[in-house]
Structure 1
Amino acid sequence: MSKRIQAKYKLDRRMGQNIWGRPKSPVNRREYGPGQHGQRRKGKLSDYGTQLRAKQKLKGYYANITEKQFRRIYTEAVRLKGDSGENMIGLLERRLDAVIYRAKFVPTPFAARQFINHGHIKVNGRRVNIASYQVKIGDVIEVKESSRQIEMVLVASQSAERDVPDYIEVDHGKMTAKYNRVPSLSEVPYPVQMEPNLVVEFYSR
């Protein structure tokens, strides 16, 4: 079962932004933070506070993955050649739960994690039940045949709320997706601005 069923709405309130772009987000009605003092917490953030918020926002977007997992992604991003912030985004977008969310097989990143854990997804014909599995270029991801008529899958695939990005090739008739390339930050369809460079600064302090 996916963690934090209710807290995802609190995360929106804490950030003051609708980080998943959901119509039901409480931020659409109240832009201030949660709690009785939420409206008064509008002070200017320090550099550390800005970096921390950037980290919480990016980590929260990917179904609030654990700090241990997120730090491991940062470590790998720094080890790779090129811009560490761009590398972080590339590694996060290669997570299996991110790919099936982008492919519109499920409505939310939280649902993606649960869907994979319950064994509904195959990669290159083999069942994979690890949400953090790193997809490679050319991999074919599919919803298991017996799971294709689940209402959540049908509703998500027909939703007009978001589009499938160019770096994933999807056939919703067959419920398959091919991972064509690792995207750059500018190609990832985040509803709000993500700042991975600040996350790199936070961890490299």
Structure 2
Amino acid sequence: MSKRHSAKYKLDRRLGENIWGRPKSPVNKREYGPGQHGQRRKGKLSDFGQQLRAKQKLKGHYGDISEKQFRKIYEEADRRKGETTENLIGLLESRLDALVYRAKFVPTIFAARQFVNHGHVMVNGRRVNIPSFRCRPGDVIEVREKSKQMALVLEAVQLAEREVPEYVEADHNKMTAKFVRVPALADVPFAVQMEPNLVIEYYSR
């Protein structure tokens, strides 16, 4: 098992939730945590514990972004006008790796980061290899011609476990996607309930 897969499934088991809705997640069989003490009854989480868990879950969903990077996204969301929780989700969903994942060009968010890193993606006709690159409404994301027949891409397009959300227009024949608009929290197809309000509380305490 590759490092990517083990890290992904370890995160699921630690949180006790299938945060990407993957059919192979170990949580589908065992909802308790990993290790010999995983089945012990858990005590009630403190307010801080709930906030930390909410942050780990949201951060993990986007490929376990580094703490430094995630905090910078929160700080920008806090500076912007409007509701900080909505701003936070909007910024996370505007990342190039997140949009490549939402467009179903790859099967997982981890694969999306690697796919972008390796130069398989273009934005508005220009090659971009930075997963955190921020897209704007109207931007067109395209899989490079030589990458369109990769097994990873062909597998992802056929996945029945998730749909392309309304704020992304994807054409799987041409392997292009248009970022239509910045989504609100209610628009994002999270497999589990996310609580960005607790994430805001965690950072603003």
TM over 0.5: yes
Q: Secondary structure at the match of 1:32?
A: coil
**Structure 1 residue 161 displacement after superposition:** 1.1
1:160: which partner in 2?
160
TM (norm. structure 2) is 0.97
The 8 Å contact of residues 106 and 157 in structure 1, kept in 2 or not, is answered as yes
C-alpha distance in 2, partners of 1:132/1:116?
9
CA distance in 1, matches of 2:53, 2:120: 34
Q: Distance in 2 between matches of 1:53 and 1:161?
A: 25
**Structure-to-structure mapping, 1:49-88, within 5 angstroms:** 49-88=49-88
Residues of 2 paired with 1:16 and 1:183: CA distance? 27
- Residues 33 and 41 in structure 1, CA contact (< 8 A), matched pair in contact too: no
Tell me how far 1:4 sits from its aligned partner.
4.2
Structure 2 residue runs without a partner (length 5+): none
User: How many residues get paired?
Assistant: 204
CA distance in 2, matches of 1:81, 1:4: 36
- How far does residue 5 in structure 1 lie from its aligned partner after superposition? 3.8
Which is worse superposed, 40-49 or 3-12? 3-12
Please give the alpha-carbon distance, in whole angstroms, between the structure 1 residues aligned to 2:91 and 2:173. 28
Equivalent residue runs for 1:112-191 within 5 Å: 112-191=112-191
Structure 1 stretches of 5 or more lacking a match?
none
Distance 2:44 2:142 in 1: 46
Q: Distance in 1 between matches of 2:63 and 2:96?
A: 12
Aligned residue identity for 1:189: P
CA distance in 1, matches of 2:39, 2:88: 33
Distance 2:159 2:178 in 1: 20
Query: Does the CA contact (< 8 Å) of 1:120 and 1:147 recur in 2?
Result: yes
Cα distance between partner residues in 1 of 2:3 and 2:95:
17
Distance across 2 between alignment mates of 1:34 and 1:48? 22
Read off the aligned partner of 1:67 and give its amino acid letter.
E
Q: 1:41 Cα shift?
A: 4.6
Q: Which residue of 1 aligns with 2:42?
A: 42
> Residue in 1 aligned with 2:95?
95
Q: Secondary structure at the match of 1:119?
A: coil
3-state DSSP class of the match of 2:43?
Answer: coil
Tell me the amino acid that sits aligned with residue 168 of structure 1. V
1:7 Cα offset (Å): 1.4
* CA deviation profile, 1:133-162 (whole Å, cap 9, x unmatched): 000010000000010000110110121111
Match of 1:204 in 2: 204
Q: RMSD in angstroms over aligned alpha carbons?
A: 1.1
Aligned to 1:105: 105
1:110 to partner: Cα distance: 0.1
